[in-house]
Amino acid sequence: MLKKLEINQFVIIDELTIDLKDRLTILTGETGAGKSILLSAMDLVLGTPSTPDSIRVGSEKSIFKATFAPSKNNPVWDYLVTNGLSKVADEEFIVYRVMKREGVDEITFNDKPIELETLAEIGVYLVEIHGQTANAGIMDHNNQLKWLDMSGGFPQEFFDNVRDALREVHRLEKELEEEKLFLVRHKRKIRQIEDLVKRFNSIGMGPKGFVAETQTTYEELLRAKETSDTFQNILGRMISASGVNVSLSAIEQILGEQENIDREQIADLEKYLSEALINSRKAVQEMMRLGPEYDIDTKPLNHHKDVLTVLHTISSENKVEFDDLEEFYEDISEKLVRIKNGREKVKELEVSLIEAKQSYKHHAHILTEKRIGAAEVLSNNITRELAPLKLPKAQFEILVEEKPDNPWTEIGFNEVTYMARMNPGSEFSSISNTASGGELARIILALKVVLQKIQVTSTLVFDEVDTGIGGAAAAAVGDRLALLSDNTQVVVITHSPQVASRGDQHLYISKKVVGNATTSAVRELTEEERIDEISRMLAGEDNTDASKAAAQSLIDEAIHASSVRQQEAAEENITTSEQQAS
């Protein structure tokens, strides 16, 4: 429910606070005193766009503060928890909005800044406003469909089947479009792609790791060849005619042949030369032992070199990083297969799409049949509500049509229209075109009486729902509003004494003019003041004992009707409990 609404510097309101009760609140007062202004303020705390020209003259901003206390089962709590605005279903929350002449509005939810769009989404769960200019929600075909589905209580499976079927249609449509676009873009490049794949295949392009393995193997073979070449070079220098071994042997022989050399003096030299010769011969033996290990077949080396040459050439020509060649090869290989199989793939997708569309139509039609059944029940329930509202000959009907040529949705392709006829024999037509203002107001009230049983909106606001009616019809409207308020907070702006008499709370809106400034005020009436106000509504400004007595009579009737409803509700609860027990 809406517990409190505080308004500052808005149109003719200087500063105003309204505390609302949880049942039926009546708002009456002077013409132009600000009743419609209160509705505008409610709209703003529910997320409607700013209207800076409505800021009170002399002020730069209007301030609105609303305290809400929805029931624990109101879906607003799921929304708030999902969007991180509340951890659990709490008792109440505060919406605060500052509307400025210049700049962006400041909007907070429990002191947390939020966007206007978020406020509007929250507002949908909290308050519905109905009246001469505020019935767009009732007339909206999408809402009419939503309420029909809620009244039907269909298993979620029906909706899941339609949703899943449509998503499959969209998936296949997207895949088919992408496949056709791919073929258009790449079909002309098929020769180029084939040549590239052949070049890759010619070098034995393998799975992931091929390029790195080729590079590594080539480097290992290259090192082995360089080592082998080095050994051969050294060995050649050591055992050739002018090599180390021959030279050392010759030197040793020359020294041995010299007779006049002091042997003691060259003893160390002879020792070193002898050791050098011995070590040199050992080195040759060791190199000859190791040599075979480094002998390689140059054919694998040349093969790997050729492979790397091809890879580097492809990398350069196609502006692909060398390390990304494997991914590039995989990509163009897949493209080649996709191009060659493209026509067949398109045909498969087209067949699958036809089957998916048939599946969607099948499940959507099942939903249509369920809705037609639910529409008959809901139509009958609403028609029964029209007689108590003094429309005994009026009939209500819900038209459910299949519109497969309209854009498909995840809830089917039905268009639902709420229709009525005021007299037997006349044609049914949309409720917006069927009735006069007073008749339409009562039809909408009948709708809400029935729908509120399946769609619990925290607060319902009716703006002059009694327009164009009086007497018994107005009393009937008052009774139905009171019935609604048994389980829902209802706020009614009215000029009807019959409606006003049904209220649990009566607020009076007035205005005063001081100099050039007009200010609106609201106060709750006492029981005595309430009788005077209803008397005034009955007889005009001149209250008489008779008009006061009539006002008291209306109030007594309302009290009695409320008592009867409570007794009937209690009996119904007992019957329900007994049925459940049995």
User: With bands split at pLDDT 50, 70 and 90, how would you rate the model's confidence at 582?
Assistant: low
Check whether residue 198 and residue 338 sit in a common domain: yes
Q: What is the pLDDT of residues 430-464, one digit of tens each?
A: 887 876 667 777 888 888 888 887 776 789 998 87
Please tell me the distance from the alpha carbon of residue 220 to that of residue 301, in angstroms, as a whole number: 9
Domain end call among 525, 555, 573: 525
Check whether residue 221 and residue 91 sit in a common domain: no
pLDDT beyond 60 at 423 = yes
Average pLDDT of 542-550? 87
pTM of structure: 0.68
Amino acid 356: pLDDT: 97
Lowest mean pLDDT among 22-36, 108-122, 290-304: 290-304
The verdict on residue 308 lying in a domain is yes
* Backbone torsions φ then ψ of 15, nearest 5 degrees: -150, 125
Check whether residue 193 and residue 68 sit in a common domain: no
* Backbone torsions φ then ψ of 513, nearest 5 degrees: -115, 125
- Give buried/exposed letters for 166-192 (b at 16+ CB in 10 A, else e): bebbeebeeebeebeebbeebeeeeee
- Residues above pLDDT 90, as percent of the chain: 40
CB within 8 A of 225, min separation 6: which ones?
296, 298, 301
Place of tokens 């309430």: 530
CATH number for 519: 3.40.50.300
479, 562 Cβ separation under 8 angstroms: no
The verdict on residue 8 lying in a domain is yes
pLDDT beyond 70 at 336 = yes
Amino acid 500: pLDDT: 93
pLDDT beyond 90 at 110 = yes
The verdict on residue 296 lying in a domain is yes
Check whether residue 330 and residue 209 sit in a common domain: yes
pLDDT beyond 90 at 490 = yes
- On average, the pLDDT of the chain sits at 87
Domain end call among 342, 371, 388: 342
The verdict on residue 26 lying in a domain is yes
- The residue with greater pLDDT, 410 or 511, is 410
Q: Which pairs count as long-range contacts for 18-21, CB under 8 Å and 24+ apart, including other chains? A: 18/507, 18/522, 19/524, 20/489, 20/491, 20/505, 21/489, 21/504, 21/505
Task: Quote the tokens at residue 78.
Answer: 């799921």
CA angle 229, 230, 234 (to 5 degrees): 120
Domain count, the chain: 2
Check whether residue 121 and residue 198 sit in a common domain: no
Check whether residue 116 and residue 10 sit in a common domain: yes
Of all helices (H) and strands (E), which one includes residue 107?
strand 106-109
**Measured between alpha carbons, how far is residue 348 from residues 26, 179, 181, 333 in Å?**
66, 11, 16, 21
456, 71 Cβ separation under 8 angstroms: yes
The verdict on residue 334 lying in a domain is yes
Q: What is the pLDDT of residues 183-210, one digit of tens each?
A: 888 878 888 888 888 998 888 887 788 8
The verdict on residue 232 lying in a domain is yes
Amino acid 342: pLDDT: 84
The verdict on residue 160 lying in a domain is no
Q: To 10 degrees, what angle do helices 325-340 and 210-239 make?
A: 130
Tell me the residue range of the domain where 20 lies. Answer: 1-126+459-525
pLDDT beyond 60 at 303 = yes
Check whether residue 91 and residue 221 sit in a common domain: no
Amino acid 19: pLDDT: 93
Check whether residue 204 and residue 334 sit in a common domain: yes
Domain end call among 309, 342, 375: 342
Q: What is the pLDDT of residues 353-393, one digit of tens each?
A: 999 999 999 999 999 999 999 999 999 999 999 988 888 89
Sheet holding 395-402, edge to edge: 395-402, 414-421, 429-430
User: With bands split at pLDDT 50, 70 and 90, how would you rate the model's confidence at 41?
Assistant: very high
421, 427 Cβ separation under 8 angstroms: yes
147, 396 Cβ separation under 8 angstroms: no
CA angle 253, 254, 258 (to 5 degrees): 115
- The residue with greater pLDDT, 22 or 170, is 170
Q: Which of 150, 219, 127 is nearest to 416 (CA)?
A: 150
- Residues above pLDDT 70, as percent of the chain: 95
β-bridge pairing 93-100 and 106-109: antiparallel
Check whether residue 120 and residue 212 sit in a common domain: no
CA angle 445, 450, 455 (to 5 degrees): 105
348, 354 Cβ separation under 8 angstroms: no
- The residue with greater pLDDT, 241 or 353, is 353
pLDDT beyond 90 at 234 = no
Amino acid at residue number 460: L
Please tell me the distance from the alpha carbon of residue 85 to that of residue 96, in angstroms, as a whole number: 14
Check whether residue 217 and residue 298 sit in a common domain: yes
The verdict on residue 159 lying in a domain is no
CB within 8 A of 246, min separation 6: which ones?
239, 240
91, 118 Cβ separation under 8 angstroms: no
Amino acid 17: pLDDT: 92
Coil, strand or helix at 508: strand
**Measured between alpha carbons, how far is residue 542 from residues 29, 506, 535, 537 in Å?**
16, 20, 9, 10
Q: What is the pLDDT of residues 54-91, one digit of tens each?
A: 999 989 999 999 999 998 888 899 999 999 998 877 78
Check whether residue 207 and residue 105 sit in a common domain: no
